[in-house]
Every structure is written in C-alpha cells, then in structure tokens.
Amino acid sequence: MAAPGAAAGKDAWSSKTAFMLAAIGSAVGLGNLVRFPAEAGENGGGAFVLFYILCVLLIGLPLLLSETLIGRRGQAAAPVSFRRVAEESGASRRWEWVAVLGVLSAFLVLSFYCVIGGWVLYYIGIFAMDLLDTGLVGGAFQGVPAATVEGLFPQMIENGPMTVALNLAFLVITMLFVLRGISGGIEVAAVWLMPAFFVLLLGITIYGAFGGAFGETIAYLFTFDFTKLTGPVMLAAVGQAFFSLSLATATMTTYGAYVGKDVNLASTSTTISLADTSVALLAGLCLFPIVLAAGLAPGAGLGLMFQTLPHAFQEMPVGSLLGLAFFVMVGFAALTSSVGLMEAPSAWLIDGFGLGRRAAVLTVTIGAALLGVVCALSTGMLSGFHPLGFWNLFEGQGMLDALDTLTSRLTLPIAGLFTAIFIGWIVDKRLTDAENGLDGALHHFWRFLMRWLVPLALIAILVVGIFPDLFA
C-alpha cells in the first residue's frame, strides 16, 4: 500500500489515523488496566494519581514528542535512528546505546507481558464457558462459592504447564500480527481492536456509574494524602508514566519512523498522552464501582482484577457476559501493546543487522518464549528463585516481578534521562526545530523542559527512589 512520506518500497502506516491508533494501542494496555489501579492502590491513591498526572504532562509528553521526532528523522529502528540523528548533529554515534537499552527493555517487558496476557486468555476462557453453561441472565458462576471463584487465580498461576501454555499462546498470537509488518499486521490489529476496546470500556464504565458505587470510587481515587508521597512512591509514579506511555522502550521511536512528514508530532503526542491517561483513570472508574457495589474491599495488586472482580461479576445481572466482555477488552488492549513490544527489537534486527522480517520476528519470539517460561513459572514452581534478590529493591521477587521492577524503576527512567540529555543538549537545534511541530512560546517551553526540568527531575527521582534510606 502506498504510504505518505515513506521512502520508496518501505513499509509504513497507511494514514495518520492508523499511526495514532497504533501508538495509542501500544500505550493503552495492561499498564493502564492492571498496573495503574494496582499501583494506585498500593501507593496510597490520590497523591500517587496526582503526581502521576504531573509526570505524564511535564516528563512523559515532552519525551514522547522527542522519541517520535528522532524516529521520523532517522527513518529506521530506534538505535539506527538515534545514530543517524547523532551523526547529523556531529555527535558520537555511541548515542545509539541509549536506544539499545530501550530495545533491551522492550524485550524484557515483552517476556513478562505475554505471561499476564496469558492469564487474561484464561479468564476469557472461563467466562465464555460459564456463559454457555448458565446463559445470559443472573450472575456469573451461579451456585459456586465466592471463595472458589477467588481461588481460581492462585490455582491457575501455580499451575506451571497452564501458565506456560497460556504464555506461549499469547506470544504466538502477537507474532502472527508482527510477522505481517506495519501496514499489514500491526496497523490491522490497532484499527480493529482499539475502537472495539473503547466501546467496551465506555459501556462497562457507564454501567458501573449507574449501577455501581461511583461516589465511593471518587472518594477512594481522589483523596490526597501527601505524606504518602515518598521517594519510592515518586519513582513508582514516574516508572508507571514511562511504562504506560510506552516510553524508553524504543517503540515510539520505531513507530515514528513510519510516519509521514506532514504529521504534526506535537499534536499527535498530546493526543496519545491524553488518551492513555484518560484510559488509566477510566480503568479506575470502571473497576472500583463494580467492586465496591458488590460490597467488597478494593484490594490492592493483581487480586483486584483477577479475584475481586470475578467475584463481583457473580453478584451482577448478566454477569457472565459482562465478565467476558471485560476480559476480551483487556485482551484487546494487551495485544495491541504486545505487538509494539515485539516490533521494537524486531525492527532493530531488520534495520541494524539486515535480517529479513520473518527471521527477526522468529528470533525475538523464541527469545521471549525462553525468558517467558521462567516468568510464567515464577508464580509457581520457581517462586523461590529470586534472580536479583541480593538488592533490596528486588527483595523476594520472582522473575516476573523482578523484570517488572527492573524495567519500570530502572531501565526506563535511565533511558528516558539520556534521551532528554540527547535531545536537550546534543542534537542540533535546527533539526529539532524542523521536526517538532511547535512554534512560539510552546517551542521554548519544550526545549526548557528537555534541557532542564526532565533531566533534573529524573535524576532527583531516581536518587530518592533507589536510595530512600539516604533521605529518611
């Protein structure tokens, strides 16, 4: 398909809308639906949410613009684009290592992301079976004790063969899309699944707003207690902002390489950030009312989605169908993210090492499957294996949790820091001026953020987050 702005013969988005849907698809995922409510619950609700929003606006959004800008200028996978932009600015080609760290992070995230994607497949399966069993009316899992329903989760994640099989299934589904390339695969997933996702999310949220405990939810999510805003909590919020916007994982740069010159990157970055943040907040507004209305406590962590929520669907009319719709929605969001996570390392193997798409995608898939098996088993058989346990940041964490912490608390903020230094201090100003789509005061503001606020804030947050004891 002829694509605007693409070099001859190169695969690219078939339209600006396709790019937007793919970028939003990559941003909106398990991070918004599972990780955000869990982090908000664990880190004290309102103050975390407020600090998170600040991070998105002042750090995430300007970095998102920077990343897509480097990609469009470089016209290739992230490390190659970083190298080209560095060379064009007369700087060392070693800046490509910032993006290599990003590619590596994408690979690590992909490995554990597809494990959780697999869990979602399991819940799609059990709600679908329940719908066939009990029919439309009444709650889900009729006649089954709530404890049994909540017990399904520990039972599933401790079942090694099950989690491994589910993980591989999710990985293979992802691979099938990425094998078909940008316009033929990744874009197709985004264009079909993202609109369906939004319809489901709005439908379930509105249902909850009328039928559920909406007022209590607002109180829960927006009560501010600023004494809770400690160094580690701030690091959690920044990490969550990076994770949720798909920053520092080479994907936004890679996606930017397939965008036409006529697209205003400042405005697309703003839309992507707004959409992503709205979905995170909506996820809270969607989950908590259902749970609170069922008279349940909104437990923190993964139990919220995988235990409390299925229990709540037991109490609701048309519960099986609602549960099925809910987990299908989560699955759609997860899939449009996992394709982005797989594309970033694949594109590097293609543009940086000359592999064909098929060989590149298979290599990444096999690598992610091998590491993924260790993650999948880390909630059961390998729960005693703590790969980074010698460091207190990773205390007691199995492979899945350790990779999650390693990326969101360390590699993402660090790669983001160097990207800011690169754009703010190294890249030729004429080059950023030509690409960023900003003018006047906003342009100066963006440069100020990239030169000063973003790097200094990230350094400060990394230090107080990693060494909280120094400041106690």
Q: Which residues bind ligand TRP (CB under 6 A)?
A: 26-27, 29-32, 106, 109, 243-244, 246, 249, 251, 337, 340-341
How near is the Cβ of 108 to ligand TRP at its closest, in Å?
10
C-beta closer to ligand TRP: residue 140 or 241: 241
How near is the Cβ of 445 to ligand TRP at its closest, in Å?
25
Q: E strands, 61-137, where?
A: none
How near is the Cβ of 135 to ligand TRP at its closest, in Å?
34
C-beta closer to ligand TRP: residue 281 or 293: 281
How near is the Cβ of 58 to ligand TRP at its closest, in Å?
19
How near is the Cβ of 173 to ligand TRP at its closest, in Å?
15
Contact by Cβ (8 Å): 376, 160: yes
Contact by Cβ (8 Å): 131, 324: yes
CA distances to 11, 35, 49, 308, 372 from 301, in Å: 40, 8, 15, 11, 21
C-beta closer to ligand TRP: residue 269 or 337: 337
Looking at the chain, the number of H-run helices and the number of E-run strands are: 24, 0
CA separation for the pair 298, 281 (Å, rounded) = 15
C-beta closer to ligand TRP: residue 14 or 32: 32
CA separation for the pair 267, 320 (Å, rounded) = 40
C-beta closer to ligand TRP: residue 112 or 127: 112
Contact by Cβ (8 Å): 89, 296: no
How near is the Cβ of 203 to ligand TRP at its closest, in Å?
21
Show the CA angle centred on residue 262, arms to residues 437 and 92, nearest 5°: 60
C-beta closer to ligand TRP: residue 249 or 432: 249
* Distant-in-sequence, close-in-space partners of 200: CB < 8 Å, separation ≥ 6: 325, 326, 328, 329, 332
Question: How many other C-beta atoms are found inside a 10 Å radius of the C-beta of residue 172?
Answer: 12
C-beta closer to ligand TRP: residue 188 or 296: 188
Contact by Cβ (8 Å): 51, 137: no
Q: Which residue is nearest to ligand TRP (CB)?
A: 31
C-beta closer to ligand TRP: residue 334 or 461: 334
CA distances to 23, 27, 202, 241, 347 from 100, in Å: 20, 20, 37, 20, 12
Contact by Cβ (8 Å): 372, 171: yes
* Four-residue CA torsion sign, 78, 83, 86, 87: negative
How near is the Cβ of 341 to ligand TRP at its closest, in Å?
4
Instruction: Please provide residue 387's backbone torsions phi and psi, each rounded to the nearest 5 degrees.
Output: -60, -35
How near is the Cβ of 110 to ligand TRP at its closest, in Å?
8
How near is the Cβ of 211 to ligand TRP at its closest, in Å?
27
C-beta closer to ligand TRP: residue 183 or 244: 244
